[in-house]
Chain A
Amino acid sequence: MIEIKNVSKRFGSQKVLNGVNLVVNEGETMALLGPSGTGKSVLLKAIIGLIRPDRGEIIVDDQHVESLKRVALSKLRATIGYVFQNGALFDSMDVFENIRLGLTDEAEFKNPEYARTRAAECLRLVNLQPDTMKKMPAQLSGGMRKRVGIARAIAGKPKYVLYDEPTSGLDPVNSDIIDALVTRLKDELGVTSIMVTHDVRGSFRTADRIALLTGGKIVAIGPPDEFKESPVAEVRAFLERDFDLEGNGAAK
């Protein structure tokens, strides 16, 4: 379970998060929507302790992230897969080494056969050929890099996965494959996840609940059907704009 209680964060004079409350239950997929620049990435980073909130509590698996000691934090992070918005692949290593570093279990990491099999398996899950393993990140397209980032995040069989826009920049077919992967991880392994996304329609299909972050707060939250009908003004504005765009044929 991931619990975010009253979390605030400011950068200089800019208030980014202003009392965010959010609970993601065990085995639940939460989609996090919100306009660009509202602090969705900041919130995800706060969950794994890459950004320390100014106020509030973040509790993952009954552990307070903001006050965890080094070793305990590393242990906790090993159970959380994080998909970075821009991939954040290690560019001095090939794809195989990248995915291998995602094997957070030391024994698995040390076992070259297991590492290879697992890397190939994860690449298949994100619809990439096994021969991608030998490529360097610079030789990949943006969408491929993003998918390798996803493969790296899930390689260690994490209990939690935080996706920062996993489908942005992907073609519709690959977007659907990633959406299906999110669902499959949840169904087969009981993974709990938060998925930041701009793909409103995709999130309606994959998420159990949807939350909207604007103005530093979660302004609406609920299952897709409820969320769609939410009377909250920000939700209406957000959805209408999205469907407007879709009407103009410029969706996503």
Chain B
Amino acid sequence: MSSLVEWAMFRAGRSVLDPLAAVGRFADLMVEMGRGLVEVKIWFPRTMEEAWSIGVGSLFIVLMISSFTGGVTALQAGYQFTGNIPIYVVGSLVTESVVLELGPVLVALILAGRIGARYAAELGTMRVTEQIDALESLGRSPASHLLIPRVLACLLMIPVLVVIADFVAVGTGWVIAKSTLGISNQDFAYGARVYWHPLDGWYSIIKGFFFAAAIGLISCYRGYTTQQGAEGVGRSVTGAVVTTSVLVLLLDVILAKLILKP
């Protein structure tokens, strides 16, 4: 009986302390990276390389999901708004839903899988094969060599990919709406413009930024703090993708609440 109580207290204690320890480790890592920022000559070239690599590497999948998204949004808008609603509303709907929500969120979710998993796996493998220790043993900082370039590459490229996705999705939506619903260019353009706020484009980019930070920081943190072999790497990768995806959705709500004022 008493051992059961002990066990319950142990579990309760762990469930409070483990997340606290994780927050502490994450904060440590942020401090590390903050300090590493002075080594510009180290992180700058690596950031450029990394940004190029994830930008080019992710372009295809981003083009693919954004064109599908735009197309499907147009089809569904056409399906829903038959009857006495003016046809130009399809233009508004496609543009607004893509730019405000679908573009940034879908890109972030896909990239959480593509970039987040890759970073967590790379850093996790480097951790368990002592490559990170080796770097430190040479008096070099893992923050400026490995972490900062990855996080900055995300911050640099993901908003760009979001903007590309927005344009491609709206463009595909336009083409699909034209060919299946027979909406004219003027109507679509009018619809796109009539409900457009100047903030909307920025909102998309701001979301891209926050999502990029989530992807970069979480996956680097999970990879960097990997423990125990191949299984540990697996846990880090899954953890990175799941945590990032949930965080993206959470940030989505928070940003909508904070920034979008009707």
| B139 close to A90 (CB less than 8 A) | no
How many A residues are at the interface, by size bracket? 20 to 34
B134 — which chain A residues lie within 8 A by C-beta?
82, 84, 88-90, 152
| A88 close to B138 (CB less than 8 A) | no
Of B122, B125, B131, B139, the contact of A77 (CB 8 Å cutoff): B139
| B137 close to A77 (CB less than 8 A) | yes
B59 contacts A by Cβ under 8 Å: no
Beta-carbon contacts under 8 Å, A38-85 to B: 45, 48, 50, 70, 73-78, 80, 82, 84
| B139 close to A84 (CB less than 8 A) | no
CB distance from B100 to the nearest CB of A (A): 38
A101 contacts B by Cβ under 8 Å: yes
A86 contacts B by Cβ under 8 Å: yes
| A104 close to B138 (CB less than 8 A) | yes
B141 — which chain A residues lie within 8 A by C-beta?
70, 74
B185 contacts A by Cβ under 8 Å: no
B35 contacts A by Cβ under 8 Å: yes
| A77 close to B136 (CB less than 8 A) | yes
Q: How far is the CA of A227 from the CA of B210 in the complex (A)?
A: 63
| A102 close to B130 (CB less than 8 A) | no
Q: How far is the CA of A89 from the CA of B138 in the complex (A)?
A: 12
Of A74, A80, A86, the contact of B140 (CB 8 Å cutoff): A74
| B139 close to A91 (CB less than 8 A) | no
Beta-carbon contacts under 8 Å, B199-243 to A: none
Q: How far is the CA of A219 from the CA of B138 in the complex (A)?
A: 31
Q: Which residues of A contact B (CB under 8 A)?
A: 45, 48, 50, 70, 73-78, 80, 82, 84, 86, 88-92, 101-102, 104, 152, 156
Q: Which residues of B contact A (CB under 8 A)?
A: 35, 122, 125-126, 129-131, 133-141
Would you list 20 pairs from A and B whose C-beta atoms are within 8 A, ordered by A residue?
A: A45-B133, A48-B137, A73-B139, A74-B139, A74-B140, A75-B139, A76-B139, A77-B136, A77-B137, A78-B138, A78-B139, A82-B137, A82-B138, A86-B129, A88-B129, A88-B131, A90-B126, A91-B125, A91-B129, A152-B138
For the A-B complex with A75-B139, A88-B133, A91-B129 known, give 5 more contacts whose Cβ atoms are closer than 8 Å: A76-B139, A77-B138, A82-B134, A88-B134, A102-B138
